[in-house]
A and B are shown apart, each in its own frame.
Chain A
């Protein structure tokens, strides 16, 4: 057993080492795949944010362009580009409803930058020279709409952003600028902020609009307007004039993707922050699925191999146990069964025993009794292995004991049954033909337990049918019948086990008692010849597919016509 254990352990060790190497390879591949997936997805997320930032900046330009459109439409009015100050002021007043979007008011500048008209009226700035304003200078040079940085030109010096468009007369000469203003930090009425908010930029973080000086014009938390973008401590070149994006940690330590993009036609920059975890929630979900699948992909073969190894080991142990049991049973069997029939003066006896497996269920016995009679038994124990061999021992011993006590065959079987019954397991029985031969008179007394019997050989007389009892071991109290016949010189009988008539052909047809009777009737009466002939018939009939399925035991008793000299 320890050798077997060693074999199993060695085999398991080899498989474990191979498996570990395989798992290590799989693990490496899984790790590499997962890391590649995470890296690629992260790069995609950042790139996507950069693209979104760029598109959002373009949309924002379009949105704030609506305000320059309003001013440009008004600037095309002759009342505005004409030189009549009263008409200019009246036009602004009459356009008050439309111009109300500019919560910081609207200012009309002359061609040299002097304030000509204001809506709503701010008397204190009328006539002021605003030519030094950067946005006016830029307008003067480029003659196109300008979006200013934060400047203190609003009512009462409040900070505003200015959108200024050129006023051109009908000869397309520059005659001034029309400036609309939006207050910075306005908390309620602000079309400028409304225009940004309604774009719904960003999913899970803050949005900022920063002017050319890095001052925050808008932020989605309404708390950082007027501060410098530097206060956010983003390690990115936000004001570099090019779109970009990166994964950063802000001043508060949050893990973010920050994207920035210049707003076309302005010096402003749009900065968006998105929470990394939220942004990559779906990717992380897929990543976890991938990781889980990779894990399962590694675990499944390992578990599968482990289970198979365990199963194989168990089978090996079971097989080994069976072999050991068979070996013990064979030893018992061989020890019990005589090699050949005894010599009996005036008689020729022959035997054929072929077990279907290593240890067959069939048994036989010969015993010459003190009074010269011969006890012959042919039987079968259902099942196999050591337990069947032990029952066989019990049966043999009981039958021999009955013979020594001079009991008739029926009494012998009844007595044996009483002894065997307590020792047989459920479902285990013993079939048996038990006979006692008086060699001098040729008288043969016999009794059968189960489907065993005696047939006459050579067509002399028919031993069958006879009254048969139940198999031994089925239950206490079984009764048997003793039959008797006398063999004259030259006559023979055959004792057979169940295998003789239950043998199956290739067509799954059983040999049957009728074929056995016919064969026995045709067989020569000489014991050896008879056995040889019956073996031939049975061999011819039996299926060649696989090993023999039935044990077979034949015993022929032949009373010699002329006794041979001893």
Chain B
């Protein structure tokens, strides 16, 4: 009821009761209503003006990998997108050098891109800090179940925080596998690995493949190599039946539990006990992929994302098989590369339209063609294999390319486990692993202290709960 109406009611009552019918209380009530009504009326109309924004000319920023080849596919895709959405102009830019940190600065400054890619442990860390838009309302309104089922459930789930915020959608499916140098295997008369391998087979082969070529008492050739990175260590722990993070409580560490300790001990022993697995010091800080391409190691734990580099760079016959099973189970790491939207974007609807294009089958195909990236959708795996065989017919012949998709199809994928305060957990673990694995200066027992410190770090700061 407006103030005017209140006033009319009051004056009507007054007439009914005669000249002295309007009491002081009635008079004050009527005046109060009139004042309130007048103020409300004065405030009205503000919302509509603020809401009226020029939606006919929206500019967005899309940020993705810093690679030489990416701008070309981005340009093609964005031109198609502009044709379909003439009112939305998207400018592509590349990831900055130190993505994880500089993005946080951009988030805080309000200058982050509207749509961007993320991965690994920092992507959920951004979400934990509230920088990413919750996509659930858009997904419910705009995505069918068939699309969702086409993604690896582990990857899809990994792009969700513990309290249910879906902060990203899968970009591509990077699956960890075991590449091997067929020439080196043949030279050492070692049977090629296959999907039946477990960690014992893996260790046995490494022993046979490691070699002190110049007989100086130090190996120059190693069986394999592990990236000392969070999820690369974690996948071994998962194979041993352990976890880094309690699946029921994101603030509870399981890093010092027996299964986790056994897995890390297994890795460390290969590096520092039997010297069959190279450390970064052994290969003069070469990346694992380069160490493999340069034939310093006979096998490498690497993903489908490395296919193009390896197929183009390896001067030897390459084989690939699924990641060896651990004593407890067979698992493979699936990357958590995805696309997200900045929570403070001025145009969430337009950003969602762009994101839908980025997770489309067409974009999956484009990335497969441009850099052999394994599509996030299971339904595109066959096409992807055909693309590889078409582009690298010789190198890929005899390669079990389907091994990359096996975990996705068989439900064996695991993704990076994330603590509530992931930034701090990563920092603490990285420092410890440097001493344990890279330098060999500390035993795996150090992880007990590390686990405790990480748990303490979870109690500090405004982080997502369990």
Give the interface of B toward A (CB within 8 A): 18-20, 22, 27, 31, 34-35, 38-39, 41-43, 46, 49-50, 52-54, 57, 59-63, 66-68, 70-71, 74-75, 78-79, 82, 89-94, 96-97, 106, 110-114, 346
Contacts and interface: CB of A to CB of B under 8 A. Distances in A.
Contact of B112 (A198, A282, A310): A198
A314 B19 contact: yes
A293 B113 CA distance: 45
A303 B31 contact: yes
A321 to B, nearest CB: 13
Q: What DSSP secondary structure best describes chain B's contact surface?
A: mixed
Contact of B89 (A63, A204, A222, A296): A222
A188 B78 contact: yes
Interface of A is mostly: helix
B89 A187 contact: yes
B72 to A, nearest CB: 8
Interface stretch (A92-100, A354-362, A370-378, A550-558): A92-100
Nearest to B34: A296
Nearest to A207: B59
Interface of A: 59, 63, 66, 96-98, 100-101, 103, 186-191, 193-195, 197-200, 204, 220-223, 277-278, 281-282, 284-285, 288-289, 291-293, 295-296, 299-300, 303-304, 307, 310-311, 313-315
A97 B79 CA distance: 21
B38 A295 contact: yes
Contacts of A186: 91
Given A189-B75, A285-B46, A292-B42, A300 B31 contact: yes
Nearest to A308: B27
Contacts of A293: 35, 38-39
B19 A194 contact: no
A278 B50 contact: yes
Q: Which of A66, A221, A285, A291 has the most CB of B within 10 A?
A: A285
A288 B92 CA distance: 44
A210 to B, nearest CB: 18
Given A100-B71, A222-B57, A292-B42, A191 B94 contact: yes
Contact of B20 (A96, A292, A303, A314): A314
A191 B68 CA distance: 14
18 contacts: A97-B66, A98-B97, A100-B67, A100-B68, A187-B82, A188-B79, A188-B92, A190-B91, A197-B59, A198-B61, A198-B112, A199-B111, A222-B89, A278-B49, A282-B46, A284-B46, A285-B46, A300-B35
Contacts of A277: 49
B27 to A, nearest CB: 6
Given A293-B38, A296-B35, A310-B19, A198 B113 contact: yes
Contacts of A307: 22, 27
B67 A97 contact: yes
Nearest to B27: A307
Contact of A220 (B38, B59, B78): B59
Contact of A100 (B43, B53, B94, B114): B94
A189 B92 contact: yes
A541 B134 CA distance: 90
A103 B19 contact: no
Nearest to A186: B91
A204 B53 contact: yes
Nearest to A310: B19
A187 B77 CA distance: 12
A185 to B, nearest CB: 11
Contacts of A191: 91-94
A194 B82 CA distance: 16
Given A198-B113, A304-B27, A285 B94 contact: no
B428 to A, nearest CB: 31
Contacts of B34: 296, 299
A288 B79 contact: no
A194 B75 CA distance: 13
A225 B450 CA distance: 56
A203 to B, nearest CB: 9
B371 to A, nearest CB: 12
A221 B57 contact: yes
Contact of B42 (A195, A199, A282, A288): A288
A282 B70 CA distance: 44
Contact of B111 (A63, A295, A300): A63
Contacts of A63: 111
Contacts of A103: 71
A235 B333 CA distance: 62
Given A100-B71, A197-B59, A200-B110, A289 B43 contact: yes
Contact of B39 (A195, A278, A292, A304): A292
Contacts of B112: 198
A281 B111 contact: no
Contacts of B31: 296, 300, 303
B44 to A, nearest CB: 8
B347 to A, nearest CB: 10
A277 B48 CA distance: 11
A266 B431 CA distance: 43
B39 A188 contact: no
Nearest to A317: B19
B111 A200 contact: yes
Nearest to B11: A303
Nearest to A282: B46
Nearest to A290: B42
